[in-house]
Amino acid sequence: MATAQELYDDLVVEQLARAEVSMGRMFHAEGLKVGGKVYAFFSASRDRVVLKLPAARAGELVKDGTAEVMRMGARQMREWVSLREPDEGVWRRLMGEAADYVESLGR
């Protein structure tokens, strides 16, 4: 079974196959970006993938236990969540959703 970091690294390779996806920095970590904005990165300190999703979708994932709210100090980041358990299917789907969401913000 792959570790969270290994799973993330494998999914990064898949995401980078999309012409519009590249790497960039955010929150002191390398992450995936589209349209110049980061949509996913790995938090090594928490051993979790962190994604930017619409606030309502992020809330659903927190409510159903798939994700936790991302915090920067005391501030809750309402469009950012960290995924709890490494799950290839869930992580792949949600990374795709995050890429599509952030790409739509640039249109």
**CA–CA gap between residue 9 and residue 58 (Å, rounded):** 22
Element (H, E) at 26: strand 21-26
Mean pLDDT split into 10-residue runs, the chain, 107 residues: 89 94 84 94 89 96 93 81 92 96 88
If you search the block for the tokens 């949600």, which residue do you land on? 94
Q: How many domains does the chain have?
A: 1
- What is the β-pairing status of strands 29-34 and 75-83? unpaired
The residue range of the domain holding 53 is 4-85+92-105
Calpha distance 62→70 (Å, rounded): 10
Rounded Cα distance between 74 and 105, Å, is 26
pLDDT, residue 85, reads 86
Instruction: Please report the pLDDT score of residue 44 as a whole number.
Output: 83
pLDDT at 81: 95
Residue 53 CA, distance from chain mean position: 8
Residue 68 sits in a domain whose CATH number is 3.90.1150
The confidence score (pLDDT) of residue 41 equals: 94
**Residue-level pLDDT at 1:** 67
> What's the whole-model pTM score?
0.91
Look at residue 87 and give its three-state secondary structure: coil
Q: How far apart are CA 49 and CA 67, in angstroms?
A: 10
Q: What is the pLDDT of residue 42?
A: 93
